[in-house]
Amino acid sequence: MESSLRSRLIGVLEEQPILERAQARINQLLRPVVDWADRTGVKDVLHGRQVGHALHPIATDATIGFWTSALVLDFVGARKSARFLTGVGNASALVTAASGVADWTVTDGRERRLGLLHGLMNVAGLGCQTIALFSPRRYRSWSMAGFGISMAAAYIGGELVYGRAMMVNHDAWLAGPSDWKPVCRFTDVPDGLARAVEVDGRKILVRRAGMVVSAMENACAHLGGPLDEGEIADGVVTCPWHGSQFRLSDGGLIKGPSCFPQLRLEARVRDGIVEIRGRAA
């Protein structure tokens, strides 16, 4: 099937060698800051763990809303109010940028390159808005230029979220089985540990604690990483891809970059066989 002009254009942009070199260099420079943010819990806040989903879209809406309102006010002659909202938008852009960088650090490959382009364009848009703030005579020109660049960057951001499923719940569309289904022998699961079992074409992580079993989706809610390949310790599994941590007993989220808990399923033991079904309330 022939690809669309849009997909071909995005493909050309994300494959630029300069973006690969730039992302490697920027990631190296950011590493000490990222490590500090990870140790102190700041990174979890920027990912939006406490919010319940990614923080970046919320911050983005605020920033673009301020800049849009500023342009409208300028066109109706309320120039002082327009400049004020531009300043507020510029300030909110700092939170937007910080949360975006946090999300970018847990991407890979073409998404990382495209995310870098998205970020650089937003920096350019913020630069134009900053110049507009301090250039009364050329305010409208610079403000419109910044707004246009930010809209183009927002389009790329939409591609990352809606086209590449970045920072969305990768377990959201999963469910079932609707009836109890045998998956393994109780003795196949080591006490205190977990193992992955095949159910309806996907893997489920089954955990045993004494005589009690629990089950949750094996694909990490962040980007679908295989949890059964991650470290399991003290009732917690760590995703091998980006380090998200979940309680094995109920799939509860302990540490990001995931913003979502793991999909929990019901589990029971009958005649020495572990059975699971659908979502548990």
Opening angle at CA 244, ends 209 and 43, nearest 5: 140
**pLDDT tens for residues 47-73?**
998 888 899 999 999 999 999 999 999
List of residues 6+ apart from 28 with CB closer than 8 A: none
Let me know: does 110 contact 7? Beta carbons within 8 Å. Answer: no
pLDDT at residue 3, rounded to an integer:
63
Which helix (H) or strand (E) segment is 277 a member of? strand 273-279
pLDDT at residue 178, rounded to an integer:
85
Sign of CA dihedral 138, 141, 143, 145: negative
Class of domain 181-279: mainly beta
Q: Which two tokens stand for residue 92?
A: 């909110």
Higher pLDDT, 170 or 150: 150
Q: Are strands 273-279 and 181-185 parallel, antiparallel or unpaired?
A: antiparallel
**pLDDT tens for residues 265-279?**
999 999 999 999 986
**pLDDT tens for residues 170-226?**
888 877 788 899 999 999 998 888 899 988 888 999 999 888 999 999 999 998 899
Q: Are strands 236-238 and 245-247 parallel, antiparallel or unpaired?
A: antiparallel
pLDDT at residue 9, rounded to an integer:
85
pLDDT at residue 281, rounded to an integer:
45
**pLDDT tens for residues 22-46?**
999 999 999 999 999 999 999 999 9
What is the C-alpha separation between 168 and 65, in angstroms, rounded? Answer: 23
Higher pLDDT, 201 or 82: 82
Sign of CA dihedral 20, 22, 24, 26: negative
Cα→Cα distances 259→40, 114, 150, 166, 242, Å: 17, 22, 25, 11, 12
Query: What mean pLDDT, rounded, does the chain reach?
Result: 91
280 has a pLDDT exceeding 80? no
Q: Which two tokens stand for residue 144?
A: 């419109």
CA dihedral 218, 222, 225, 229 (to 10 degrees): -70
For the chain, the residue count is 281
